[in-house]
């Protein structure tokens, strides 16, 4: 028996494409955000709200990943935001090559903020670098306060946490301070935003923060 | 089931590192699986078995070595290992921890049977 000793990262191919994308985003002064969350936490609704905040200084484009349908792309397209839909046909996460191909389709558009809406899933997407500037996690108040403890990788790798559907807080048993405490125990460096797409609360703060990053 | 993607990547690395005429001799590939890599070993083994023949590597076995999380406390400097994804320092209970290792997936060894 002869043994070849190699130390190679299993995802080296993905990481290489992601690092090329990251350089390209940097060069073109694009702030790219990779959004992770469970299905139904309000990713597309938050994107719609951010799109409404877009003006001269913030020009958004969206790459939306879903297992099936182009429903999300159609919602975003209605707002006049450039959007490319990736249908993964069963795939549970986005990979860097899919994002690169989608990004190429946006080459004629002018934007400084790229939103990559990952497939709704808190497990698999956390392992794949897409070349983004930061990862963001969206957690809705109805999902329970222990989600950060159950899915620590996503929360650990994110820079911001958006706690969405705060309008439903009176109807759920999870107090918001407990969601925050659990999230910060996994990742003390998280910046936390509280939003409601229904009432618009907290959206302005989130948009101001994004505008600062895009400068 | 991102384990299928992981299995595909492992087999591609074996193919790149092994000359094609020796594929049939490839007996095992050893993979280091960090505790924090979000990969289910059983699902990875299953995916690997299902697709390995597509790569001409029908004799190869997957050996998974699970690695603990290696952590360093940014506050007190303590170094320690953890089998769970717990994020407070075992010494000072501080919560600012740096992950040194254990969140990665690496192919570490490929075993080839001797030529007869």
- DSSP one-letter string for A97-121: HHHHHHHHHTTTS--SEEEEE--S-
Q: Quote the mean pLDDT of chain A.
A: 93
pLDDT at B84 over 80: no
Of residues A3, A13, A128, nearest to B109 (C-beta): A3
| Whole-number pLDDT of residue B89 | 86
Minimum mean pLDDT among B46-55, B66-75, B77-86: which range? B77-86
Tokens read off for A117:
């809406």
Tokens read off for B49:
């078995």
Minimum mean pLDDT among A189-203, B50-64, B67-81: which range? B67-81
Residues 6+ apart with CB under 8 A from A141: A163, A164, A165, A166, A168, A169, A172, A174, A176, A179
How does residue A88 score in pLDDT terms, banded at 50, 70 and 90? confident
Specify whether the CB–CB gap between A90 and A121 falls below 8 A.
no
Residues 6+ apart with CB under 8 A from B54: B11
| B residues 13-72 lying closer than 8 A (beta carbon) to A | 13, 17-18, 27, 31, 36-39
Contacts with A1 from chain B: Cβ below 8 Å: 27, 111-114
Residue-by-residue DSSP string for B67-107: EPEEEEETTT--EEEESS---S-TTT----EEEEESS-EEE
Q: Which residue has the tokens 């090559």?
A: A97
Of residues A153, A188, A189, nearest to B36 (C-beta): A153
Across the A/B interface, how many CB contacts are shorter than 8 Å? 91
Burial class of residue B21 (count of CB atoms within 10 Å of its CB; 0-12, 13-18, 19+): exposed
Question: Is A2's CB within 8 Å of B112's CB?
Answer: yes
| Whole-number pLDDT of residue A174 | 81
ipTM over 0.90: no
In B, minimum Cα distance to A93 occurs at B2
Tokens read off for A1:
């028996």
**Tens digit of each residue's pLDDT (9 = 90 or more) over A141-200:** 999 999 998 888 899 999 999 999 999 999 998 899 999 999 998 888 999 999 999 999
| Whole-number pLDDT of residue B98 | 83
Minimum mean pLDDT among A6-15, A114-123, A193-202, B82-91: which range? B82-91
In whole angstroms, give the CA distance from residue A132 to residue A96: 10
pLDDT at B116 over 70: no
| Beta carbons within 10 angstroms of residue B36's beta carbon | 25
Tokens read off for A111:
């934007």
Question: Is B108's CB within 8 Å of A14's CB?
Answer: no
Contacts with A128 from chain B: Cβ below 8 Å: 2
**Tens digit of each residue's pLDDT (9 = 90 or more) over A7-50:** 899 999 999 999 999 999 999 999 999 999 999 999 999 999 99
In A, minimum Cα distance to B33 occurs at A10
Specify whether the CB–CB gap between A142 and A165 falls below 8 A.
yes
Contacts with B43 from chain A: Cβ below 8 Å: none
Q: Quote the mean pLDDT of chain B.
A: 89
In angstroms, what is the C-alpha Rg of chain B? 18
């Amino acid at each position: 028996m002869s043994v070849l000793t190699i130390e190679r990262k299993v995802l080296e191919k993905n990481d290489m494409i992601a690092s090329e994308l990251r350089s390209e985003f940097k060069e073109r002064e694009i702030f790219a955000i990779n959004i992770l969350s469970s299905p139904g936490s309000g990713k597309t609704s938050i994107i719609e709200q951010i799109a409404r905040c877009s003006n001269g200084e913030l020009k958004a484009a969206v790459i939306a990943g879903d297992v099936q349908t182009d429903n999300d792309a159609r919602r975003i397209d209605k707002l006049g935001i450039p959007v490319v839909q990736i249908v993964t046909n069963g795939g549970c996460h986005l990979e860097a090559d899919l994002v690169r191909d989608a990004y190429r389709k946006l080459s004629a558009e002018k934007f400084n903020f790229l939103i990559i809406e990952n497939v709704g899933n808190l497990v698999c997407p956390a392992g794949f670098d897409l070349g983004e500037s930061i990862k963001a996690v969206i957690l809705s108040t109805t999902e329970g306060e222990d989600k950060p403890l159950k899915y620590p990788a996503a929360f650990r790798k994110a820079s911001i946490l958006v706690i969405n559907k705060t309008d439903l807080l009176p109807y759920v048993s999870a107090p918001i301070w407990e969601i925050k405490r659990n999230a910060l125990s996994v990742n003390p460096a998280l910046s936390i935003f509280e939003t409601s797409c229904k009432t618009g609360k907290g959206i302005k703060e989130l948009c101001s923060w994004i505008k600062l990053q895009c400068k | 089931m991102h384990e299928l993607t992981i299995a595909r990547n492992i087999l591609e690395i074996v193919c790149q590192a092994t000359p094609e005429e020796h594929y049939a001799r490839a007996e095992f590939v050893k993979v280091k699986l960090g505790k924090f890599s979000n990969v289910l070993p059983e699902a990875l083994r299953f995916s690997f078995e299902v697709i390995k023949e597509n790569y001409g590597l029908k004799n190869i076995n997957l050996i998974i070595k699970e690695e603990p999380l290696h952590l360093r406390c940014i506050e007190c400097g303590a170094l320690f290992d953890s089998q769970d994804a717990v994020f407070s320092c075992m010494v000072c209970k501080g919560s600012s921890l740096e992950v040194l290792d254990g969140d990665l997936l690496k192919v570490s060894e490929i075993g080839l049977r001797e030529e007869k």
